[in-house]
Amino acid sequence: MDGRPHHLIVSHAAPDAYAPMTRAILAKLGYAILMPDEYESLGAARGVQPPILRIVDERQLAEVPEDSVPLPLIVLTGRHGVTGADSRIVGAVRRPAGMHELYRLIQQVTEETPRSTPRVPTHLHARCRRDGREWGCSVLSLSENGCLVRSPEPLMLGARVEISFSLPRSGALSLEAETAYQLVPDVGMIFHAIPARQREAIAHFVTATLAA
Protein backbone atom coordinates (compact mmCIF):
# COMPACT_ATOMS: atom_id res chain seq x y z
CA MET A 1 0.00 0.00 0.00
CA ASP A 2 1.35 3.43 -0.91
CA GLY A 3 0.13 5.17 2.25
CA ARG A 4 -3.15 6.34 0.68
CA PRO A 5 -6.37 4.38 1.08
CA HIS A 6 -7.28 2.43 -2.03
CA HIS A 7 -11.05 2.84 -1.58
CA LEU A 8 -13.35 5.55 -0.27
CA ILE A 9 -16.55 4.87 1.70
CA VAL A 10 -19.07 7.53 2.73
CA SER A 11 -20.54 7.14 6.21
CA HIS A 12 -24.00 8.34 7.18
CA ALA A 13 -23.61 7.30 10.80
CA ALA A 14 -22.40 8.95 13.99
CA PRO A 15 -18.90 8.07 15.24
CA ASP A 16 -20.34 6.12 18.17
CA ALA A 17 -22.08 3.78 15.70
CA TYR A 18 -18.62 2.26 15.18
CA ALA A 19 -16.59 0.32 17.74
CA PRO A 20 -13.41 2.08 18.92
CA MET A 21 -10.60 2.13 16.33
CA THR A 22 -12.79 0.53 13.63
CA ARG A 23 -12.50 3.40 11.16
CA ALA A 24 -8.78 3.92 11.84
CA ILE A 25 -7.94 0.24 11.34
CA LEU A 26 -10.05 -0.08 8.18
CA ALA A 27 -8.20 2.95 6.76
CA LYS A 28 -4.93 1.06 7.27
CA LEU A 29 -6.47 -1.88 5.42
CA GLY A 30 -7.27 0.36 2.45
CA TYR A 31 -10.82 1.55 3.22
CA ALA A 32 -11.17 5.21 4.21
CA ILE A 33 -14.55 5.86 5.85
CA LEU A 34 -15.41 9.55 5.41
CA MET A 35 -18.34 11.65 6.58
CA PRO A 36 -20.31 13.25 3.71
CA ASP A 37 -18.77 16.69 4.28
CA GLU A 38 -15.28 15.18 4.34
CA TYR A 39 -15.90 13.49 1.01
CA GLU A 40 -17.41 16.64 -0.49
CA SER A 41 -14.35 18.63 0.57
CA LEU A 42 -12.28 16.26 -1.54
CA GLY A 43 -14.56 16.83 -4.52
CA ALA A 44 -12.63 19.92 -5.61
CA ALA A 45 -9.44 17.88 -5.89
CA ARG A 46 -8.66 16.41 -9.29
CA GLY A 47 -8.74 12.66 -9.70
CA VAL A 48 -10.70 11.84 -6.54
CA GLN A 49 -12.29 8.45 -6.98
CA PRO A 50 -15.99 7.90 -6.34
CA PRO A 51 -16.96 5.98 -3.21
CA ILE A 52 -17.37 2.23 -3.52
CA LEU A 53 -20.32 2.11 -1.08
CA ARG A 54 -22.11 3.94 1.71
CA ILE A 55 -22.39 2.87 5.35
CA VAL A 56 -25.68 4.11 6.81
CA ASP A 57 -27.26 4.11 10.25
CA GLU A 58 -30.74 2.66 9.70
CA ARG A 59 -32.20 5.75 11.40
CA GLN A 60 -30.67 7.92 8.64
CA LEU A 61 -31.72 5.90 5.60
CA ALA A 62 -34.17 8.58 4.48
CA GLU A 63 -31.32 11.13 4.36
CA VAL A 64 -29.11 9.15 1.96
CA PRO A 65 -28.98 10.87 -1.43
CA GLU A 66 -29.91 9.09 -4.65
CA ASP A 67 -26.75 8.42 -6.67
CA SER A 68 -26.79 8.52 -10.46
CA VAL A 69 -25.26 5.06 -10.25
CA PRO A 70 -26.75 3.51 -7.10
CA LEU A 71 -24.10 2.64 -4.52
CA PRO A 72 -24.41 -0.45 -2.33
CA LEU A 73 -25.50 0.32 1.24
CA ILE A 74 -24.26 -1.41 4.38
CA VAL A 75 -26.66 -0.62 7.20
CA LEU A 76 -25.74 -0.27 10.87
CA THR A 77 -28.71 -1.60 12.76
CA GLY A 78 -30.02 -3.20 15.94
CA ARG A 79 -30.22 -6.88 16.72
CA HIS A 80 -33.28 -7.46 14.51
CA GLY A 81 -31.39 -6.65 11.29
CA VAL A 82 -32.95 -5.00 8.25
CA THR A 83 -35.59 -5.79 5.67
CA GLY A 84 -35.02 -5.81 1.93
CA ALA A 85 -37.29 -2.83 1.32
CA ASP A 86 -34.43 -0.77 -0.17
CA SER A 87 -32.85 -2.55 -3.12
CA ARG A 88 -29.53 -0.77 -2.48
CA ILE A 89 -29.04 -2.55 0.87
CA VAL A 90 -26.53 -5.38 0.50
CA GLY A 91 -25.85 -6.17 4.17
CA ALA A 92 -26.15 -5.09 7.77
CA VAL A 93 -23.96 -5.00 10.88
CA ARG A 94 -25.13 -4.50 14.44
CA ARG A 95 -24.16 -1.22 16.12
CA PRO A 96 -21.51 -0.46 17.26
CA ALA A 97 -19.94 -1.91 14.12
CA GLY A 98 -16.70 -3.82 14.73
CA MET A 99 -13.70 -3.88 12.44
CA HIS A 100 -13.79 -7.62 11.68
CA GLU A 101 -17.51 -7.68 10.84
CA LEU A 102 -17.31 -4.62 8.59
CA TYR A 103 -14.11 -5.80 6.90
CA ARG A 104 -15.64 -9.17 6.04
CA LEU A 105 -18.80 -7.55 4.65
CA ILE A 106 -16.97 -4.85 2.66
CA GLN A 107 -14.73 -7.51 1.14
CA GLN A 108 -17.72 -9.65 0.15
CA VAL A 109 -19.48 -6.69 -1.49
CA THR A 110 -16.56 -5.05 -3.29
CA GLU A 111 -13.78 -7.56 -3.96
CA GLU A 112 -13.71 -10.25 -6.66
CA THR A 113 -11.60 -12.48 -4.41
CA PRO A 114 -12.66 -11.46 -0.90
CA ARG A 115 -10.65 -12.18 2.22
CA SER A 116 -12.58 -13.14 5.32
CA THR A 117 -9.93 -11.92 7.77
CA PRO A 118 -7.24 -9.21 7.64
CA ARG A 119 -3.56 -10.17 7.42
CA VAL A 120 -0.59 -8.28 8.91
CA PRO A 121 3.14 -8.49 8.13
CA THR A 122 5.22 -10.08 10.89
CA HIS A 123 8.76 -11.13 11.75
CA LEU A 124 8.11 -14.11 14.02
CA HIS A 125 10.53 -16.94 14.67
CA ALA A 126 8.73 -20.27 14.41
CA ARG A 127 9.33 -24.02 14.54
CA CYS A 128 7.95 -26.52 12.04
CA ARG A 129 7.53 -30.23 12.76
CA ARG A 130 6.72 -32.99 10.28
CA ASP A 131 7.40 -36.73 10.15
CA GLY A 132 9.53 -36.62 13.30
CA ARG A 133 11.71 -33.75 12.02
CA GLU A 134 11.85 -30.21 13.39
CA TRP A 135 13.40 -27.01 12.01
CA GLY A 136 13.30 -23.25 12.39
CA CYS A 137 11.43 -20.93 10.01
CA SER A 138 10.00 -17.41 9.88
CA VAL A 139 6.37 -16.27 9.81
CA LEU A 140 6.25 -13.29 7.40
CA SER A 141 2.53 -12.54 7.65
CA LEU A 142 -0.33 -13.80 9.79
CA SER A 143 -4.12 -13.91 9.86
CA GLU A 144 -6.68 -15.96 11.78
CA ASN A 145 -6.83 -18.39 8.87
CA GLY A 146 -3.18 -18.92 8.06
CA CYS A 147 0.30 -17.52 7.55
CA LEU A 148 3.10 -16.98 5.03
CA VAL A 149 6.27 -18.85 5.98
CA ARG A 150 9.88 -18.74 4.84
CA SER A 151 11.35 -22.18 5.43
CA PRO A 152 14.91 -23.43 4.80
CA GLU A 153 13.41 -26.90 4.35
CA PRO A 154 11.36 -27.56 1.19
CA LEU A 155 7.64 -28.14 1.77
CA MET A 156 5.46 -29.91 -0.76
CA LEU A 157 2.08 -28.39 -1.50
CA GLY A 158 -0.59 -30.17 0.51
CA ALA A 159 1.86 -31.20 3.25
CA ARG A 160 0.51 -31.22 6.81
CA VAL A 161 2.83 -29.65 9.41
CA GLU A 162 2.74 -28.49 12.99
CA ILE A 163 3.91 -24.90 13.37
CA SER A 164 4.55 -23.14 16.68
CA PHE A 165 5.38 -19.53 17.49
CA SER A 166 4.85 -17.01 20.27
CA LEU A 167 2.75 -13.84 20.28
CA PRO A 168 3.12 -10.93 22.70
CA ARG A 169 0.73 -11.25 25.66
CA SER A 170 -0.54 -14.62 24.43
CA GLY A 171 2.55 -16.80 24.70
CA ALA A 172 3.27 -19.90 22.67
CA LEU A 173 0.83 -21.21 20.07
CA SER A 174 1.03 -24.59 18.36
CA LEU A 175 -1.14 -25.09 15.28
CA GLU A 176 -1.84 -27.73 12.66
CA ALA A 177 -1.43 -26.32 9.15
CA GLU A 178 -1.34 -27.33 5.49
CA THR A 179 0.87 -25.78 2.81
CA ALA A 180 -1.70 -24.40 0.38
CA TYR A 181 0.22 -22.21 -2.09
CA GLN A 182 3.63 -20.79 -3.01
CA LEU A 183 4.59 -17.12 -3.08
CA VAL A 184 8.13 -17.79 -4.25
CA PRO A 185 10.32 -18.32 -2.31
CA ASP A 186 7.78 -18.61 0.50
CA VAL A 187 4.83 -20.90 1.22
CA GLY A 188 1.34 -20.06 2.39
CA MET A 189 -0.15 -22.20 5.14
CA ILE A 190 -3.80 -22.66 6.07
CA PHE A 191 -4.57 -23.49 9.71
CA HIS A 192 -6.72 -26.52 10.46
CA ALA A 193 -9.12 -26.98 13.40
CA ILE A 194 -7.62 -24.03 15.25
CA PRO A 195 -8.84 -23.90 18.88
CA ALA A 196 -10.99 -20.90 19.80
CA ARG A 197 -8.46 -19.59 22.34
CA GLN A 198 -5.65 -19.58 19.80
CA ARG A 199 -7.86 -18.03 17.11
CA GLU A 200 -8.78 -15.24 19.54
CA ALA A 201 -5.10 -14.71 20.40
CA ILE A 202 -4.23 -14.28 16.71
CA ALA A 203 -7.22 -11.96 16.15
CA HIS A 204 -6.13 -9.76 19.08
CA PHE A 205 -2.55 -9.68 17.75
CA VAL A 206 -3.73 -8.67 14.26
CA THR A 207 -6.01 -5.95 15.63
CA ALA A 208 -3.31 -4.58 17.95
CA THR A 209 -0.76 -4.56 15.12
CA LEU A 210 -3.13 -2.67 12.82
CA ALA A 211 -4.02 -0.19 15.57
CA ALA A 212 -0.38 0.53 16.49
129-162 tens-digit pLDDT: 999 999 999 999 999 999 999 999 988 888 999 9
Q: What angle do CA 166, 170, 176 make, to 5 degrees?
A: 55
DSSP state of 208: H
| Helix residue spans in 34-191 (DSSP H) | 36-42, 99-110
The answer on pLDDT for 1 being more than 60 is: no
For residue 123, the model assigns a pLDDT of 94
Enumerate the domain spans of the chain. 7-110, 120-211
Is there a shared CATH topology between the 7-110 domain and the 120-211 domain?
no
Report the chain's terminal Cα–Cα distance, integer Å.
Answer: 17
Please list the helix, strand and coil fractions of the chain in percent, rounded to the nearest 5, in that order: 25, 40, 35
pLDDT score recorded for residue 63? 86
Mean pLDDT is highest, among 12-26, 87-101, 181-195, for: 12-26
Longest Cα separation, the chain: 64
Distances (CA, A) of 26 to 72, 138, 201: 18, 27, 20
CATH architecture of the domain covering 120-211: Beta Barrel (2.40)
pLDDT of res. 2: 40
Q: How confident is the model at residue 67 (pLDDT cuts 50, 70, 90)?
A: confident
The answer to pTM > 0.95 is no
* Class of the CATH-defined domain 7-110: alpha beta
